[in-house]
Amino acid sequence: MRGGWLDSVQVIYNIFEQEPQAEFFPAAAQHDVGVIVRVPFDESSLTGKLTPQTRFETGDFRNNYFAGDRLDRTVARVEKIRQEVGSAEPDLATAALKFTLKPSAVSTVIPGIRNTRQAELNCGVSDQPPMSDDLEHRLRKHIWRRSFWYGGK
């Protein structure tokens, strides 16, 4: 990016994964590189729809992603985020998208979409007012460094 070789980049960024905010986003902005954020819902967890009883279809990679006690830990953390958001946003999915759209370096977000209604809701977020600075600041404490995540369950 700093070498001027890129026009745009994709990066994972969401309420749990906030590392790009430190150096990546400022470098992209400084060098006029477009940022495409992916996984804003953390593989669906930040929509608030998962429960400890959630089961995924055979072959769905989330069976591994949320294996062992990972689903329970994730659901517990998402509940804390839901409480933090409160009535400041219409729902958790909206808050998750607004959080990822908030940094000025972000050009666009690729949310998961499984049906027409989700497409309409996700696209409609950009027509809403941005997330407040206060809520964004409060959500920053929910960063979750999960580099250990892939090493065991």
3-state helix, strand, coil in the chain (%, to 5): 45, 10, 45
Q: Mind listing the pLDDT tens digit of every residue in the chain (153 residues)?
A: 889 899 999 999 999 999 999 999 999 999 999 999 999 999 999 999 999 999 999 999 999 999 989 999 999 999 999 999 999 999 999 999 999 999 999 999 999 888 999 899 999 998 999 999 999 999 999 999 876 665 555
The CA distances from residue 144 to 75, 94, 102, 141, in Å, are 13, 20, 19, 9
d(CA 41, CA 94): 10
Q: Is the Cβ–Cβ distance between 105 and 28 less than 8 Å?
A: yes
For each of the domains in the chain, give its residue range(s) and CATH number, in order of start. 8-143 (3.20.20.100)
**What is the token pair recorded at 13?**
């960024």
pTM of the model: 0.92
